[in-house]
Amino acid sequence: MTSAENLQAFRRDGRIVVVGASLAGLRAAETLREEGFTGSLTMIGDELGEPYDRPPLSKQVLTGWVPAGNTKLPRRREIDAEWLLGVPADGLDLAANHVHLADGREVPFDRVLISTGVRARPWFVESEAALDGVFVVRTREHAEGLQRALAAGPSRVLVIGAGFTGSEIASICRERDIPVTVAELAPAPLVGALGAMIGEVAADLQRAHGVDLRCGVKVTQLEGDAQGRLRRAHFEDGTTIDADVAVVALGGIRNTDWLRSSGLAAGVWGIACDTGCRALDLNGLVTDDIFVAGDVARCPNPIYEYRLISLEHWANAVEQAGVAAHNMVSAQADRWPHLTIPLFWSIQFGVNIKSVGVPTFADEVVVTQGSVPDHRFVAAYGYRGRVTAAVSFNNAKWLDHYRRLIETAAPFPPPCPAPDQPADMKPVPVDFPGPVLLAQGATVVVTGHDPSERRVTAVRQHR
């Protein structure tokens, strides 16, 4: 049988399993059907209930405007799938081609898509995390719980971590007129994603809206009362603050633990894949039947020196899922590369923040349009003399232009003036906090000498 006939047969009655039934998983399933896949489709998800949208969870749901239950993702088409919900996958056997579920079931496949995403990084002391009033926000249930706590009118909310989620939650608190303290280890909010200059703007924005913003501080302990309710938080310098709600917004952990023995190149950074979304194995070899999409994927981007980049962006999940699904049911010659320019947005303190490109891939930043004091501007990021990213505050309609500058490796700083260019336009160093995460221990070792013998072996991390 030729491979064309094989593909025909697979498209007709093959078995595809999607592990991770959220945005990326659902959109991939829809694309598979759209592309004419008529075989069996199984959706595995650890959460009960239909796939829902997460961006509103730190925004409209927390204001109480949209009930958490009303965030179900719109369906683009019927997918005719078997749904295995409420049980996580806990293993992938590449020799037998099946997914192992936590309840012992085994689900066989011909091809599998991994879109298990990210979970919230919990507070590091389990007993303190369990206190009444301590929240993370990732799932619908989390958002619902926090919404109720905010509606009860807490005396003060402590937000730990001033990334996008933490800042959005602080914004909601102010909107609801709840006193809020934001504690951030870095020198300013958003600084890890957008650098020092924008971080300073974000800090001004928070303070102007009445946030008690404390940067360069570390929360060391959450203290409860006899009933197990949160009462106060302790800082590293010995000071304390009374709060009855704490939101732990310290980013996410990629859901790759279940792949520990799978032989795939999976770890804390995600699952490495090629631009066709095919997973790499431990040796860095491309697999044929394992695909990855969404927050958990770590994909090379040719525009950024082919570096492996993982993105926790809504638009990336949708686009990558589409490419992965297309490639799962296409012959090699018809496959697409996932080559989009990252796009991200946030709404906080009445400002629409939007970015295009990879701002961390930059050495300089310059305000090209608008006015920083008015919180209406566009800033372009450059790396060695070319544009690599842009961020807008309440000025998003220009970003398509900057996307084109990134795609065409246009010179940085952009040479020509626009009508709304600030008078004192001058590039400044972008200044990101040090790459602390790079200091983590090795995850693999290489063995063997002869080219036919050389192999990579995973090393369990010691905590």
Partner 1 sequence: MTTTETPGLLRRILDYSSRADPYPLYAELRKTPVARQDDGSYVISTYRELTDILHNPHLSSDTRNLSQPMAGAEGQTAPAFINLDPPEHDRLRRMAMRHFGPPHTPALLTGMEPVLATTVGGLIDDLTDKERIDLVDDFAYPFPVTVICHLLGVPREDEPRFHLWVNDLINSIDYDPKTDPKEKLDKGVQARMDLREYLGGLLAQRHGRPGEDLLSRLANDDGPDGRMTDEEIVSTANLLLIAGHETTVNLITNGMLTLLRHPQVLQRLRGEPDLVVPLVEELLRYEPPVHIIPWRAAYSDITVADTEIRKGSQIMLMLAAGSRDPDRFHDPDRFDPDRRDNQHLGFGSGIHLCFGGPLARRETQIALTELVRRLDGIRLVDDPPPYRRSPILRGPVHLHVERSAG
Cβ 443 to partner 1 shortest distance, Å = 41
- Smallest separation (angstroms) from partner 1 to the CB of 315: 15
Candidates 1, 226, 333, 416; binder of partner 1 (CB under 8 A) is 416
Instruction: Give alpha helix (H) positions in 132-282.
Output: 140-151, 164-175, 191-208
CA distances from 362 to 251, 407, 415, 445, 450 (A): 22, 15, 18, 31, 40
Question: Which of these ranges, 217-225, 306-314, 323-331, 364-372, lies near partner 1 under the rule CB under 8 A?
Answer: 364-372
| Smallest gap from residue 264 Cβ to partner 1 (A) | 34
CB atoms within 10 A of CB 274: 18
Q: Considering the rule CB under 8 A, would residue 398 count as an interface residue with partner 1?
A: yes
The two most distant CA atoms of the chain are separated, in Å, by 73
Task: Quote the CA–CA distance of 66 and 438 in Å, as a whole number.
Answer: 39
Q: Minimal distance in Å, beta carbon 336 to partner 1?
A: 16
Q: How many residues bind partner 1 (CB under 8 A)?
A: 16
- Among 404, 411, 429, 457, which residue sits at the site for partner 1 (rule: CB under 8 A)? 404
Cα–Cα distance list, 345 to 137, 244, 336 (Å): 17, 30, 26
CB of 125 to partner 1, least distance (A): 41
Q: Which one among 165, 255, 320, 368 touches partner 1, defined by CB under 8 A?
A: 368
Q: How far is the CB of 425 from partner 1 (least distance, A)?
A: 12
Pairing of strands 245-248, 134-135: parallel
Q: Is 393 in the site for partner 1 (CB under 8 A)?
A: no
Interface with partner 1 (CB under 8 A), residue from 401, 431, 443, 444: 401
Closest alpha carbon to 18 in 54, 45, 51, 55: 45
Nearest-angstrom CA–CA distance, 434 and 274: 28
Phi, psi of 37, rounded to the nearest 5 degrees: -75, 125
State which of residues 400, 409, 447, 457 lies at the interface with partner 1 (CB under 8 A). 400
Q: And the tokens for 320?
A: 């990558």
Taking contact as CB under 8 A, which single stretch among the options 3-11, 64-72, 100-108, 392-400 is the one that binds partner 1? 392-400
What are the phi and psi torsion angles at 97 (to 5°)? 55, 55
Cβ proximity to partner 1, 217 vs 418, nearer residue:
418
Separation of alpha carbons 99 and 87, rounded Å: 12
Could you say which residues in the range 369-388 bind partner 1, by CB under 8 A?
369-371, 376, 378
Segment contacting partner 1 by CB under 8 A, of 4-12, 165-173, 229-237, 417-425 = 417-425
Judged by beta carbon, residue 107 or residue 380, the one nearer partner 1 is 380
Q: 49's torsion region: left (phi>0), alpha (psi -120 to 50) or beta?
A: left
Q: What is the dihedral of CA 398, 402, 403, 404, to 10 degrees?
A: 110
Q: How far is the CB of 59 from partner 1 (least distance, A)?
A: 13
| Minimum CB–partner distance for residue 34 and partner 1 (Å) | 10
Q: Which residue among 420, 425, 431, 443 contacts partner 1 (CB under 8 A)?
A: 420
Closer residue to partner 1 (CB): 169 or 378: 378
Residues of the shown chain interacting with partner 1 in the complex, contacts defined by CB under 8 A: 368-371, 376, 378, 397-398, 400-401, 404, 416-420
